[in-house]
Homo-oligomer: A and B are copies of this chain.
């Protein structure tokens, strides 16, 4: 007999979560362009739910800065701004720099080996002209790195996760350009060296620089 779908409270299948995830995805991937007007009613219809979960999702996204209220005209997608993008990367640089210093103190030799493999895979993909999987290797690298913090520094971890998501909004076509890819890979190699040396302060500096480079590349190859 088929067990009835348990509609748990924090269930990712709840209308609220579903709406939130869908809407967020459309915002981050640019399917909803800046200045696009969003009304609860229209979104509710679009997603096949009532206004309630849409409202919840919109308010949550407003806190994240992914939509903004437009008074009695509903919500709208904020325009992209260099200042905002720049600030996001700057905060990321500071937080991820610190995170790296923390990681440095707890990372095992096995972890470092796994990271090395990822970088090698990325490099091979690059050399053989496949730029598609690079983005994935990149993501895996960072996930593995910061995943080490998930239990010990849950707040830092989740702030970093969130910020990495937000900048996606500004990062649609980076890491497809050879120069950006090269910089990214060599950045990851430096990170590994710093980790090998077990010097927290060096780790922090290297990671800050790495994020700043990512910012520059995002700026450069934008559009």
Contact = CB atoms under 8 A, between A and B. Distances in A.
A2 interface: no
Contact of A63 (B60, B84, B153): B60
A155 B87 CA distance: 7
Contact of A9 (B8, B10, B69, B95): B69
Q: How often does this chain occur in the complex, in copies?
A: 2
Q: How large is the interface on A (under 10, 10 to 19, 20 to 34, 35 or more residues)?
A: 20 to 34
Contact of A87 (B60, B88, B153): B153
A55 to B, nearest CB: 8
B87 A94 contact: no
A159 interface: yes
Interface residue SS majority, chain A: helix
A98 interface: yes
Nearest to A9: B71
A178 interface: no
B72 A9 contact: yes
A91 interface: yes
Contacts of A88: 155
Interface in A56-82: 56, 59-60, 63, 65, 69, 71-72
Contact of A159 (B84, B91, B153): B91
A90 B97 CA distance: 13
Interface string A158-175: 010000000000000000
A156 interface: yes
A108 to B, nearest CB: 21
B155 A84 contact: yes
18 contacts: A9-B69, A9-B71, A56-B56, A56-B59, A59-B60, A60-B63, A63-B63, A87-B153, A87-B156, A88-B155, A90-B156, A91-B95, A91-B155, A91-B156, A91-B159, A94-B94, A94-B97, A94-B98
Given A59-B60, A88-B155, 4 more contacts: A87-B154, A91-B155, A91-B159, A94-B97
Interface of A: 8-10, 56, 59-60, 63, 65, 69, 71-72, 84, 87-88, 90-91, 94-95, 97-98, 153-156, 159
